[in-house]
Amino acid sequence: MAELLTYVTTLSAALDLVALVVFIPWVLMTKKDATAAVAWCLVIVLLPLFGALLFWVFGYTHVGRPLSRVRRQRSAYRAKHPPRTQEAARGDEEDDDYATWSDLGRVARRVQAFPISQGNAVALYHDTRDAFASLLDAILRARHHVHLEFYILRSDPTTDALVAVLTKKAREGVEVRLLYDAMGCVQLRSRTLAPLREAGGRATAFLPLNPWRSRVQVNLRNHRKVVVVDGCVAFTGGMNVGDEYLGKDEYYGYWRDSFVRLEGPAAAGLQRVFAEDWDFATSEALNGDAYFPDLPRAGDSVVQVIASGPEQEVKSIREVYFAAILAARHHVWIASPYFVPDSGILDALRLARFRGVEVRLLTVLKPDHWLAYLAGRYYYTEVMEVGVEVYQYRKGMMHAKLLVADGRWAMVGSANMDNRSLHLSFEAGCVLHSPEDVAALEAQFRRDLKDAARLDADEFGRRPFLVRLTENACRLLSPLL
């Protein structure tokens, strides 16, 4: 028995040494952020085998085959299939013809956002039931194709309703392409999509979870929510597809989200986002007038589509958020269910308060992801110390992702104010440059505050020691959240 114990101890020590020798250099070579590198090194030093396993699963800056393939595929697609529409082909010099608040339209272009697009019709949905009904109505009107991209699809009546409409259109000869994230839809049953596939529609997973062929990627997930109908009507926002997103789950109750319907030239940007993701997942290139038709003026809204992902050296959405916070002179209002900012965003929020800018954060009271929620509570203290107002939504689940600044600029999309969205996931959204659209978002934000409770900084500071200790522990994982 003693010999066995000695053998096990020796083997464990040897494996710990191997983990340290292999994984510490790997962390140092792949982590650009010093805080993340230190956090991972400490985890591996204190818990060598377990820490190494965690890094293997969650080591998101490992630019391996999946990320390299994304870059290579997108580059090849863009070279072979350049933008066809006049709006998508515009250059920076034409963007200068339209002045945007604090020149943020041109800033967004510098970090790979789509061109500023005039002449759009924008419909903003703050109730997911209305958004879902509008989505189904647009699909029913499709004549050539329907393209859908979601992070989560549930096997429940809500998804069944969507699949039924898509199946109907596929049987009518409409091309239906559905792209879903493999990790987000890990519980999606194959029989849920079977009717669509049998009708001739196509449904494909983004970065499939196949450990036999490649390392399972817990990060690098496609968190986008994009729908494009006939290349001329498009949707994006924070809403996934499932019963809870329509307020049918007793635990969450009412589901507050934001969704945008676009009609006009800006729709080509969201079509382009889908086309590149579909090309990566299936190697089927979508181009031509059928997918990118000439889009006439449909309204008076000025819109700029933006997409970001881990394959980018400069994270587009993160940089635009950062620029908007720094540009604000009167107020910055943020809605996000998960608030785990990186050091730069945190400094920008502090600096905004030092300049006298009103900063309000609207977030969840009843979370669906406890780790991110507890880490976020640590940062509530950080920002409340400088006067940021933090509100927790009481009516139900706050899932909207938006930022509005000075009544002149806003962004709505799929990206939360957290590291995962801003650095690790593929995201998409719409920058709204028209004061009328921004005013509509601000009016809804004010209504939301009536259904929220403001945190008192002094009272919050007196929460129990064990709660604060747990929040600090979760905060150590903030580079992953």
Question: What residues pair up with 177 in beta bridges, in sequence order?
Answer: 147, 202
Strands 202-206 and 301-308, bridge-based pairing: unpaired
**Active-site choice (145, 401, 423, 433):** 401
Buried b (16+ CB within 10 A) or exposed e, 37-69: bebbbebbeeebeebbebbeebbbbbeeebbee
Cα–Cα distance between 437 and 432 in angstroms, integer?
A: 7
Q: Which of 169, 225, 315, 433 is catalytic?
A: 225
223 is catalytic: yes
Contact 64, 215 (CB under 8 A): yes
- Is 399 annotated as catalytic? yes
Q: How many helices (H) and strands (E) does the chain have?
A: 17, 18
Annotated active-site residue 31? The verdict is no
DSSP state of 456: P
3-state secondary structure (DSSP) of residue 412: strand
Q: Name 340's bridge partners.
A: 418
Q: Choosing from 81, 147, 399, 433, which is the catalytic residue?
A: 399
Q: Which alpha helices (H) appear in 116-208, and where do they start and end?
A: 128-140, 157-171, 190-198
- Can you tell me whether residue 38 is helix, strand or coil? helix
Rounded Cα distance, 259 and 279, in Å: 25
The Cα 177–Cα 185 span in angstroms is 16
Catalytic option among 147, 223, 315, 433: 223
Catalytic, 145? Answer no
Q: How far is CA 88 from the centre of its chain?
A: 23
Check: CB of residue 392 under 8 Å from CB of residue 380.
no
Catalytic residue among 342, 406, 418, 437: 406
Q: Give the separation between CA 269 and CA 91, rounded to whole angstroms.
A: 14
Among this protein's residues, is 32 annotated catalytic? no
What's the farthest any 2 CA atoms get from each other in the chain? 82
Residue 3 CB burial class (10 angstroms; 0-12, 13-18, ≥19): exposed
Q: Residue 267 and residue 303: Cα distance in Å, rounded?
A: 10
Tell me if residue 62 is catalytic. no
**Is the distance from CB of 255 to CB of 244 less than 8 angstroms?**
yes
In angstroms, rounded to a whole number, what is the distance separating the alpha carbons of residues 124 and 415?
17
Query: Is the CB of residue 153 less than 8 Å from the CB of residue 159?
Result: yes
> Among residues 230, 277, 342, 448, which one is catalytic?
230
Please give the positions annotated as active site.
Answer: 223, 225, 230, 399, 401, 406
